Chains A and B, each alone.
Chain A
């Protein structure tokens, strides 16, 4: 890499710092707001120095929720976590298996199936939401975890990604394992899975955040407060009607909602950086 000197260094740093500030400032404001009383938040201009009600606000959010929407955030976090984990792992399992089938087995209409999966890329949840809702409601899966997760699990993107990856694995590896006596599932478990682990980690991060951020689908199929996810919860807290919105608690909830995705990114980051550095094939 060529090192820049003098003005160049200053300029690049200035741009980078500006970028970081742009991203970090709103989060900082949220954090500050979550540590103030409602009166302090409503002061104009709002102070940018953290206040002394941090613990109190977070406790309220976690264990009792706002007065109008008396659902504790702890439960919503758990709901969101279950939904995001099931969606992410479900998508990965299903797409690994379907990519395995499409790449390594010769069965009738193989390419037809592949294209069928591929075409669903063009049909995101929003497009097929009414028929999907009808199916889920007919199956009596409203207000349940299966209803929340199963329709979101089928994934063309991940299948396609794994297919492309499997196709880069040399055929000789398959043949060597055949001679070693490994059956198809053994090969899948002992060779394909370990080789795909960095891909799986990267996908898991993306899919976990996808699941965590789901809004439209949970909004449609959950009416029971006990099934609220955190994203839905935040919206309900804002719909306070004539009442004053309890901004400090809402902001605390927002901060809490950010923690799991951030954790997932931070923990998994090591994995896929490692995956990028030592490409072993």
Chain B
């Protein structure tokens, strides 16, 4: 068990800077997910923690000890790879035992540890098989088993579920979470899938273009995004962004098509300025008898059963998605009056993307 600290960690390949200084303290036993789009540097960051990439500047410490120059094998970490990286010529048992064998553990202890890990992951029946005789989900379990038997201070996961099909991914996600609740090992998990990130994380690190956008619990980041990027990245369907301008008194914001949305707090400083307005689709609801905030011109309706996604427009440029509970009969071309909760409106600076 150990905490992981990143202090001003930077990475450059040649002249290209790919990580521009990351600071983060990961507590003992915490499950931290690093999430971001492809190429944001999240995998590189994880590989630096693993010791597979050198740190260009800054410090990485595991359990209070700076490990910048420590070999991967001496960092007391275990890593689960995207392509599983199982040794194809070894049986499942040998795959899991290999690291222990190298460390020179006695045979009986290796047997014991592998059996215990196999029990936790329910792969006892597969121990004599070769990786190629296993399905994707089973391979993933073996890869995790290989990590568990080492009893490391930190688990590192590099997009471990992205090669699995959608159903299996959901199932394995739950299992990883349960596993963490059982073992309570500090874990760092990299993914580009925001659902995975939201469901697994104790804390999220959202990265974009080599920079940390925001760190916090999933629900904080969802409800209170610090930047336009975080707001747009988390949530599915994604947050609606409209260009608008704050009224002179700072109490409402003007949206395209002559719509005025009230604000929960007075934004005096932003008064009269153009802003980007963020509205989550689920915060738009059918107006019913209440006076509508806006009227959406419906372009397309997606009936998902549990909810209905309405693609529509307000005014000319204002594309809008609304997510309405239940299967509601809405027709394409209809004008749909909707209400908007005032405390659900997020304002961002259109230049910097920062929250106002």
Residue numbers of A with Cβ under 8 A of B are 170, 172-173, 175-182, 186, 190-191, 194-195, 278, 280-281
Q: Chain A residue with minimal CB distance to B132?
A: A280
In the complex, what distance in Å separates the CA atom of A191 from the CA atom of B98? Answer: 11
In the complex, what distance in Å separates the CA atom of A260 from the CA atom of B63? Answer: 62
Pull 19 A–B residue pairs with CB atoms less than 8 Å apart, ordered by A: A170-B85, A173-B87, A175-B72, A175-B79, A176-B79, A176-B81, A176-B85, A177-B87, A179-B77, A179-B99, A180-B98, A180-B102, A182-B98, A186-B102, A190-B87, A190-B98, A191-B87, A280-B89, A281-B88
CB atoms of A172 and B83 under 8 A apart: yes
CB atoms of A179 and B78 under 8 A apart: yes
In the complex, what distance in Å separates the CA atom of A172 from the CA atom of B160? Answer: 13
CB atoms of A195 and B102 under 8 A apart: no
CB atoms of B87 and A181 under 8 A apart: no
CB atoms of A172 and B82 under 8 A apart: yes
CB atoms of B130 and A280 under 8 A apart: yes
Given contacts A170-B85, A178-B72, A180-B73, 9 further A-B contacts (CB under 8 A): A175-B85, A176-B79, A176-B81, A177-B87, A178-B52, A179-B78, A179-B99, A181-B102, A191-B89
A residues less than 8 Å from B87 (CB atoms)? 173, 176-177, 190-191
CB atoms of B81 and A172 under 8 A apart: yes
Residue numbers of B with Cβ under 8 A of A are 50-52, 71-73, 77-79, 81-83, 85-89, 98-99, 102-103, 130-132, 146
In the complex, what distance in Å separates the CA atom of A77 from the CA atom of B214? Answer: 76
In the complex, what distance in Å separates the CA atom of A195 from the CA atom of B83? Answer: 17
B residues less than 8 Å from A280 (CB atoms)? 88-89, 130-132
Partner among B72, B82, B88 whose Cβ is within 8 Å of the Cβ of A179: B72
A173 to chain B, nearest CB (A): 5
B residues less than 8 Å from A180 (CB atoms)? 73, 98-99, 102, 146
Q: A175-B52, A176-B81 known; A181 and B73 CB under 8 Å? A: yes
B23 to chain A, nearest CB (A): 25
CB atoms of B85 and A278 under 8 A apart: no
Q: Could you say which of B82, B83, B88 has the most chain A C-beta atoms within 10 Å of its C-beta?
A: B88
A residues less than 8 Å from B103 (CB atoms)? 181
A223 to chain B, nearest CB (A): 47
Q: Chain B residue with minimal CB distance to A169?
A: B88
In the complex, what distance in Å separates the CA atom of A180 from the CA atom of B100? Answer: 8
In the complex, what distance in Å separates the CA atom of A180 from the CA atom of B85? Answer: 12
Q: Chain B residue with minimal CB distance to A195?
A: B89
Q: Could you say which of A179, A181, A186 has the most chain B C-beta atoms within 10 Å of its C-beta?
A: A179
A residues less than 8 Å from B88 (CB atoms)? 195, 280-281
B residues less than 8 Å from A181 (CB atoms)? 73, 99, 102-103
B residues less than 8 Å from A191 (CB atoms)? 87, 89
In the complex, what distance in Å separates the CA atom of A212 from the CA atom of B131? Answer: 39
Q: A178-B52, A179-B77, A195-B88 known; A170 and B83 CB under 8 Å? A: yes
B81 to chain A, nearest CB (A): 5
B residues less than 8 Å from A177 (CB atoms)? 87, 98
CB atoms of A194 and B81 under 8 A apart: no
In the complex, what distance in Å separates the CA atom of A42 from the CA atom of B85? Answer: 67
CB atoms of B89 and A194 under 8 A apart: yes
In the complex, what distance in Å separates the CA atom of A180 from the CA atom of B81? Answer: 13
A residues less than 8 Å from B78 (CB atoms)? 179
B residues less than 8 Å from A182 (CB atoms)? 73, 98, 102
A residues less than 8 Å from B131 (CB atoms)? 280
A residues less than 8 Å from B89 (CB atoms)? 191, 194-195, 280
- Give the 4 A-B residue pairs with the shortest CB-CB distance, closest first: A181-B73, A180-B99, A172-B85, A176-B85
In the complex, what distance in Å separates the CA atom of A150 from the CA atom of B130? Answer: 40
In the complex, what distance in Å separates the CA atom of A67 from the CA atom of B88? Answer: 58
In the complex, what distance in Å separates the CA atom of A177 from the CA atom of B99? Answer: 8
A residues less than 8 Å from B98 (CB atoms)? 177, 180, 182, 190
